[in-house]
Structure 1
Amino acid sequence: MLSQTPTIQSPCKLICEMDLTSALCKGCGRTREEIATWSRMTPAKRAFIMTELEDRMAELDK
């Protein structure tokens, strides 16, 4: 029996455009580094970043 890889929650909205001023993705609010390393982060680190995304996105909308 093959083991299944657990699904990793992602905030990606498939709107991959970086804001040049803030260096955050306009779709999800993550940095390039966070996007690139998302699947290798610990669940705790991903959860922490997820708690920050709403505030980041609010800053982008200003």
Structure 2
Amino acid sequence: MSVKSPCIELCKFDGKSGLCTGCLRTLKEAREWKKMTDHRRHQIVNDRSHREKKLTKL
């Protein structure tokens, strides 16, 4: 089963962390999402809480 994109169509990237404030992916990750393996997609999705903390610390 493929991993659904976490995109919520709120593409605004934080200048310090480089993360999208909507889906918490980097610009590179968002661009390459369709080409990624499901394993890599799961890693990104499962890292969400860590990314949220990184974004809120700034």
Q: TM-score range by the shorter chain?
A: 0.7 to 0.9
Alpha-carbon offset, residue 59 of structure 1: 2.3
Unaligned runs of 5+ in 1: 1-5
What percent of counterpart residues are identical?
Answer: 37
Unaligned runs of 5+ in 2: none
Alignment of 1:1-62 (within 5 A): 8-62=3-57
Q: Which has the larger radius of gyration?
A: 1
Aligned length: 57
TM-score (normalizing by structure 1)? 0.79
The list of structure 1 runs, each at least 4 consecutive aligned residues, that deviate by more than 3 angstroms after superposition, is none
